Structure 1
């Protein structure tokens, strides 16, 4: 969604709500939902706000035409330098976490004319509410994926974005033209009956990424039933992927730059097959 005239973004769907911030003409924001004449949109800093539909142009990025679904099964994954919750080797944060990377990716894709649906469900909170273990996270996120498919038949690509574990920074970071990026690793689950098709898609993106941004992709890792969930909601589509962005030793900024790079490369791939 693109702003066509300078306007106020508000706390709720109406002129009576407090102003959160201003948006300038030409700025783009991912759409979450439509309430009456007001769009709820995601903000780059986190959270959301509302904007009147008469001052925006949804164009190709209308939510109903979304091609890409972005979500985070482990939505509170964070980084050592900002995490407020540490348990063993786990670094989590309820606010500064991997969801900010998903928002950046959605915005970057929309600037390139690829409509994206951004899932904002706090799956960690849902697990806690139901007193479910961490191992049930994929079952919980699958509910959201299924709902998205039912509501948006146009969806083709499903990106579950994670942050890798405590891998040495030297293995999860690359410097390209003076800029530091968190490296990406694709994870494919062999429990999915058609996993070879998902792997072909991942292999293609891996090659394109390293051609445009040398070394930014760590490669494609396949996992069997003995190595975790190994399905990762990938049976919903041959375009469904789990992506590990960097690790706990990277920074949010490095991940945001990688989100832009991934959007750049995915847009190239997407336009080549249209």
Structure 2
């Protein structure tokens, strides 16, 4: 059978599926700010069906190589306000199509099959980190700040007690918070165990198991509280890890330019605690009968003029630390106040937060994302 004849037999349905896959893959690679580019890719596919089908095969092959064996379906990204009208049109069009009858049997949740322990497995150790006392540690309500700078304890305490340096408008239709990930591909164990496979890199491009899944939990809590929150899932550390912060800087600047109402920018990460050679730590806390991954805020200090407004960020960090620890005792590790940068000059509400470590499970990290988001929503709402 000739190629042109075969293409005609494929039909409109297969072509539509191929176009959808192209758009979806383009959006995944380019991230939310470039969804328009993904639609351009789809349009090009319609103009050349043969090229579309060939691209579909290539993307499917690449996707199979990039995704882990235990990967789950990618969650539907939340549209930004600028794309809400497009989403509504798409939903109306879909609603006009005949819908299949609902299944009487509920669809079971995907499960992770237990892995056999390899002979050369590494060790995962469970730890719970307490708040610090004396020396480097400065109280901030229910939590503490670990001062790793040359500033005196009195200077840090004064800055930390200043209160929020910005105001949030719950109920406003304008975005107030941006959640993003400089190291989006950081991920966790998918099952709770005391060992890890040596070939597990703790990285994944699958948005349902990496930092995007945790960021989505935080965003959901804030949006539910009426604080409009945008969640960017751009893979800033893929395919190249080097230059991640430069790329995330560009992303944040683009959001701030488009949405000047944004007051808070949270860079959500996963820690990698290794106390000894061959060990990985699972940092945990028991909260309301469930195991949560412990969290740690990192706030940078000025170093030669790179963070002129660091005191405002520190005040925010202290208030958020207290909000989390007072509501969920044991959830937080002390705030790390050090000479770090992390693009925290972009707003006076810019912080980095580590959710667990590479020994924690995804379930523990997602639960912590819920708790972190609830405490932040209460803080920003003045509760």
What TM-score, normalized by structure 1, do the two folds share?
A: 0.71
Match of 2:350 in 1: 240
Over residues 129-165 of structure 1, what are the superposed CA-to-partner deviations in whole Å (9 max), with x where a residue is unaligned?
Answer: xxx5x34211110000000000001100000000000
Over residues 172-204 of structure 1, what are the superposed CA-to-partner deviations in whole Å (9 max), with x where a residue is unaligned?
Answer: 210022111111101112242222221111111
Q: Distance in 2 between matches of 1:183 and 1:92?
A: 20
Return 206-215 or 187-196, whichever deviates more. Answer: 187-196
Match of 1:102 in 2: 215
Instruction: Say if 1:167 and 1:248, in contact at 8 Å, map to a contact too.
Output: no
Structure 1, unpaired ranges of 5+: 1-10, 14-28, 41-49, 225-229
With over 3 angstroms needed to count, the CA separation of the structure-2 counterparts of 1:143 and 1:256, relative to structure 1, is same
- Compute the RMSD of aligned alpha carbons: 3.2
Deviation at 1:35, TM superposition (A): 4.4
The higher relative CO (CA closer than 8 Å, separation ≥ 6) is in: 2
Asked whether 1:261 is paired with 2:362, we answer no
Return 188-197 or 246-255, whichever deviates more. Answer: 188-197
Asked whether 1:156 is paired with 2:263, we answer yes
Match of 1:121 in 2: 234
Where do 1:10-49 residues align within 5 Å? 30-32=78-80, 34-35=82-83, 37-39=85-87
Match of 2:318 in 1: 203
Deviation at 1:209, TM superposition (A): 0.7
Q: Distance in 1 between matches of 2:224 and 2:263?
A: 19
Asked whether 1:78 is paired with 2:193, we answer no
With over 3 angstroms needed to count, the CA separation of the structure-2 counterparts of 1:34 and 1:235, relative to structure 1, is closer
Q: Distance in 2 between matches of 1:153 and 1:200?
A: 21
With over 3 angstroms needed to count, the CA separation of the structure-2 counterparts of 1:78 and 1:171, relative to structure 1, is closer
Instruction: Say if 1:199 and 1:220, in contact at 8 Å, map to a contact too.
Output: no
Q: Distance in 2 between matches of 1:51 and 1:236?
A: 36
Match of 2:224 in 1: 111
Q: Distance in 1 between matches of 2:201 and 2:308?
A: 31
Q: Distance in 1 between matches of 2:373 and 2:200?
A: 30
The SS at the match of 1:139 is: helix
What TM-score, normalized by structure 2, do the two folds share?
A: 0.52
Instruction: Say if 2:221 and 2:377, in contact at 8 Å, map to a contact too.
Output: no
The SS at the match of 1:266 is: helix
Asked whether 1:270 is paired with 2:364, we answer no
Asked whether 1:188 is paired with 2:292, we answer no
Q: 2:336 aligns with which of 208, 221, 243?
A: 221
Please say which structure displays the higher CA radius of gyration. Answer: 2
Which structure dedicates a bigger proportion of its chain to strand? 1
The SS at the match of 1:222 is: strand
Instruction: Say if 1:37 and 1:52, in contact at 8 Å, map to a contact too.
Output: no
Asked whether 1:147 is paired with 2:258, we answer no
Over residues 29-57 of structure 1, what are the superposed CA-to-partner deviations in whole Å (9 max), with x where a residue is unaligned?
Answer: 843354483328xxxxxxxxx6459x9xx
Q: Distance in 1 between matches of 2:260 and 2:83?
A: 21
Q: 2:177 aligns with which of 56, 62, 68?
A: 68
